[in-house]
């Protein structure tokens, strides 16, 4: 989550805030209220719980969950930095063999959704997994325990370290080599220059990447639940399943949101500061390549190990189980029902998210007054909410006040909307910023009212952006697991749910085909996102 951060305000293109039409404000406020509903309802639940809530927060079990979650996040983040920074440096500044290939392969793990990654790890290293099956002829009946902390930390690190690679690589490509050259000319050697000049300049980029990894580990549900590690997300789910005690679940959810909110806040601060660390306008002079000499081959081996575990392993594991399943007569046909459900729900969510993004973006860009800013911020609240929290809040709201909507497609779509509208708003907003307000004013002087200007001029101009937003939301909604598990109508199986439930029950072959499909979907969404960010 949070791969698109709330964009900063580009004041240059904004006009002075004029009073927006009432229908626009109405639509925007409605969207904002729905966006704020989950967090508001959880707060209400906790407050209603009163003393119980406070007691629940300080119960040993709760504090244990908090400790475990923070430990997991810290471990995954540290491991990702240790893996990601050297890889970023090797693939930008050295003559390591197959540098270009490595540059692509070290980002590729991002296309593996966490539950598919969790599935791959379990299906490879778990009991009755691929490794154990392969070793069985040699009398190996048990592998070291995978479930719990080691498995969760391994899975999360393998599929989130590329955030660090991307961030640090970007910084390495941007920094002016002049700093390093000055250091060398003042008599410092290559290694001292790296540690005293290069590395300090990378610090904000490392921090930004690390925070994204931390956010990913905190909010992840798929990998931790498949590997049975009781971090917040799994504890919330188990609590909800076991007792339907809303107070404790709400308290856990609020504690989790506090953690993710703090990390998002820190990330936005660091991102702002990271800008100043860019040097000059940069004449685009590439930095000199460091000759590794004899170290080239150990460097390659190390890089290959990471690629093998994070790219080759999941693909090979899925292929192994797919072949094994097909040869054992596992039917492939049932996947189509789940695929159809995934497509329907995601397509509807995409259309809704784009429709909703229009009034929010217009308010935020063209009428940047108090209301506009407030509506925009409220919509971005979805970024700080892990899927499990949004799902849980809507379960409670629906069960209590709207039983007729509980476990229906519309409720699932509303939850998707809260979760994915920020992505659509981000892209719509960027597209809108590129349309000069003068163009809309010209249409006004030619006799069109504001609504007609939006319909006849603005929306046709930003159509490519709207299409990209819809595609992105479609693909991300396809991958969504926790919200779907909690809110999907009974019998409404999606690909994500199918992979998760088959894996939790140890039917590795049954999960293989949907997992492969999901990696394809995920790759498409990543490609789209990277293309959008380049614009």
Which residues, 15 to 44, sit near other proteins by CB under 8 A?
16, 18
CA torsion sign for 501, 123, 82, 171 is: negative
- Cα distances (angstroms) measured from residue 221 to each of 101, 117, 156, 409: 31, 12, 11, 22
- Residue tagged 């504890």 (tokens): 235
Determine the interface stretch with other proteins among 323-331, 349-357, 371-379, 439-447 (rule: CB under 8 A). Answer: 439-447
Nearer to other proteins, 109 or 450 (CB): 450
The only residue of 46, 457, 472, 521 in contact with other proteins, by rule CB under 8 A: 457
- Whose Cβ is closer to other proteins: residue 242's or residue 446's? 446
Please check whether residue 418 is in contact with residue 373, taking contact to mean a CB–CB distance below 8 angstroms. Answer: no
448 binds other proteins (CB under 8 A): yes
Q: Where do we find the tokens 């079990």?
A: 61
Does residue 449 touch other proteins according to CB under 8 A? yes
Interface with other proteins (CB under 8 A), residue total: 19
CA–CA gap between residue 83 and residue 102 (Å, rounded): 13
Q: Does 438 bind other proteins (CB under 8 A)?
A: yes
Stretch that binds other proteins, among 94-102, 365-373, 459-467, 493-501 (CB under 8 A): 459-467
Helix crossing, 387-401 with 232-243: angle to 10°? 20
Least separation in angstroms between CB 462 and other proteins: 10
Name the residue nearer to other proteins (CB basis): 116 or 433: 433
Window of 62-70, 359-367, 413-421, 448-456 that interacts with other proteins by CB under 8 A: 448-456
- Beta carbon of residue 355, minimum distance to other proteins (angstroms, whole number): 20
Q: Closest approach of Cβ 440 to other proteins, in Å? A: 9
- Estimate to the nearest angstrom the gap between the alpha carbon of 73 and the chain centroid: 15
* Range in contact with other proteins (rule: CB under 8 A) among 211-219, 260-268, 277-285, 458-466: 458-466
User: Is 443 among the residues that bind other proteins (CB under 8 A)?
Assistant: yes
Is 158 a binding residue for other proteins by CB under 8 A? The answer is no
Neighbours of 143 (CB within 10 A): 14
Residue number with CB closer to other proteins (16 or 100): 16
Q: Which stretch binds other proteins (CB under 8 A): 95-103, 183-191, 443-451, 508-516?
A: 443-451
Per CB under 8 A, 461 contacts other proteins: yes
- Cα separations (Å) of 28 from 164, 354, 492? 35, 13, 31
Residue 240 to residues 52, 173, 234, Cα–Cα distance (Å):
17, 47, 10
From the CB of 23, what's the least distance to other proteins, in Å?
15
Q: Which of 495, 519, 81, 48 is nearest to 312 (CA)?
A: 519
467 belongs to the binding site for other proteins (CB under 8 A): no
Q: How far is the CB of 426 from other proteins (least distance, A)?
A: 22
Binding of other proteins by 439 (CB under 8 A): yes
Q: Taking a C-beta distance cutoff of 8 angstroms, is the pair 167, 208 a contact?
A: yes
Whether 369 and 17 have beta carbons less than 8 Å apart is answered as: yes
Alpha-helical (H) ranges within 106-198 are 114-125, 130-135, 149-160, 162-174, 177-185, 190-193
Q: Which of residues 398-437 bind other proteins (CB under 8 A)?
A: 436
- Residue 487, CA atoms < 13 Å, CB-side half-sphere: 29
Q: Does 442 bind other proteins (CB under 8 A)?
A: yes
d(CA 382, CA 469): 16
Nearer to other proteins, 185 or 445 (CB): 445
In the complex, what is the shortest distance from the CB of residue 375 to other proteins, in angstroms, rounded to a whole number? 23
Q: Enumerate the H helices of 328-456 as residue ranges.
A: 334-366, 370-380, 387-401, 409-433, 437-445, 450-453
Whole-angstrom Cα distance, residue 2 to residue 382? Answer: 9
Q: Is 441 in the site for other proteins (CB under 8 A)?
A: yes
In the complex, which residues of this chain contact other proteins (CB under 8 A)?
16, 18, 436, 438-439, 441-449, 456-457, 460-461, 463
């Amino acid at each position: 989550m949070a791969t698109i951060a709330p964009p900063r305000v580009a004041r240059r293109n904004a006009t002075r805030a004029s009073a927006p039409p009432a229908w626009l404000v109405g639509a925007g406020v409605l969207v904002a209220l729905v966006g704020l509903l989950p967090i508001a309802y959880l707060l209400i639940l906790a407050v209603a719980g009163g003393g119980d809530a406070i007691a629940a927060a300080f119960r040993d079990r709760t504090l244990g969950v908090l400790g475990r979650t923070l430990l997991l996040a810290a471990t995954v983040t540290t491991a990702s930095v240790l893996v990601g920074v050297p890889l970023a440096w090797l693939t930008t500044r050295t003559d390591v063999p197959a540098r270009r290939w490595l540059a692509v392969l070290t980002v590729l793990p991002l296309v593996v959704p966490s539950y598919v990654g969790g599935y791959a790890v379990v299906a490879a290293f778990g009991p009755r997994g691929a490794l154990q099956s392969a070793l069985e002829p040699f009398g190996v009946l048990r592998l070291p325990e995978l479930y719990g902390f080691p498995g969760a930390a391994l899975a999360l690190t393998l599929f989130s370290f590329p955030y660090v690679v991307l961030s640090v690589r970007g910084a390495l490509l941007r920094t002016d080599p002049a700093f390093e050259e000055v250091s060398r000319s003042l008599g410092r050697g290559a290694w001292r220059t790296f540690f005293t000049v290069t590395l300090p300049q990378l610090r904000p980029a490392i921090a930004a990447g690390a925070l994204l990894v931390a956010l990913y580990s905190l909010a992840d549900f798929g990998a931790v639940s498949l590997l049975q590690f009781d971090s917040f997300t799994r504890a919330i789910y188990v609590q909800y399943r076991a007792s339907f005690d809303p107070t404790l679940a709400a308290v856990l959810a609020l504690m989790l949101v506090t953690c993710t909110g703090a990390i998002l806040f820190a990330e936005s601060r660091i991102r702002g500061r990271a800008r100043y660390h860019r040097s000059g306008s940069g004449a685009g002079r590439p930095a000199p390549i460091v000759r590794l000499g004899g170290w080239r081959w150990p460097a390659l081996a190390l890089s290959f190990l990471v690629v093998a575990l994070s790219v080759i392993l999941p693909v090979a594991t899925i292929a192994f189980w797919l072949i094994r399943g097909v040869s054992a007569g596992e039917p492939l046909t049932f996947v189509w029902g789940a695929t159809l459900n995934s497509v329907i729900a995601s397509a509807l969510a995409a259309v809704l998210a784009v429709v909703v993004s229009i009034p929010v973006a217009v308010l935020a860009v063209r009428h940047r007054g108090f209301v506009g800013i407030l509506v925009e911020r409220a919509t971005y609240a979805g970024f700080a909410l892990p899927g499990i929290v949004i799902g849980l809040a809507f379960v409670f709201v629906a069960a209590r006040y709207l039983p007729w909507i509980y476990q229906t497609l519309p409720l699932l779509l509303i939850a998707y909307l809260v979760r994915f509208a920020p992505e659509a708003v981000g892209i719509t907003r960027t597209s809108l910023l590129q349309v000069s307000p003068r163009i809309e004013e010209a249409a006004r002087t030619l006799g069109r009212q504001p609504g007609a200007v939006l319909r006849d001029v603005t929306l046709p101009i930003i159509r490519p952006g709207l299409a990209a937003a819809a595609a992105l939301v479609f693909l991300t909604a396809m991958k969504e697991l926790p919200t779907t598990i909690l809110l999907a109508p009974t019998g409404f199986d999606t690909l994500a749910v199918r992979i998760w439930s088959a894996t939790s029950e140890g039917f590795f072959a049954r999960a293989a085909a949907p997992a492969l499909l999901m990696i394809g979907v995920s790759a498409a969404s990543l490609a789209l996102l990277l293309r959008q960010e380049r614009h």
